[in-house]
């Protein structure tokens, strides 16, 4: 199973940090991100390859920008 890494950016409420997890397709990233109401943006990597940036939408959803 691939290893994914979320790089959380400091936004005044959280310190920058990385979270690693294993997932078939990376969908767990959205559950992790949704658990922090202050988080607005994160980069996601599959193994060491950048997949894209995930940003919070105005409707409190998440959008992956490759």
What are the pLDDT digits (tens) for 15-34?
788 999 999 999 999 999 99
CB of 27 closer than 8 Å to CB of 52: no
Range(s) of the domain holding residue 54? 3-65
Evaluate if residue 13 carries a pLDDT over 70: no
What stretch of H or E contains 19?
Answer: strand 17-22
How many structural domains compose the chain?
1
Query: CA-to-CA distance for 23 and 38, rounded, in angstroms?
Result: 24
């Amino acid at each position: 199973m691939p290893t994914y890494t979320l790089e959380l950016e400091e936004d005044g409420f959280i310190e920058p940090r990385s979270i690693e997890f294993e997932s078939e397709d990376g969908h767990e990233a959205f559950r992790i991100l949704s658990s922090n109401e202050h988080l607005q943006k994160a980069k996601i990597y599959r193994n060491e390859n950048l997949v894209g940036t995930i940003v919070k939408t105005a409707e409190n959803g998440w959008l992956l920008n490759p």
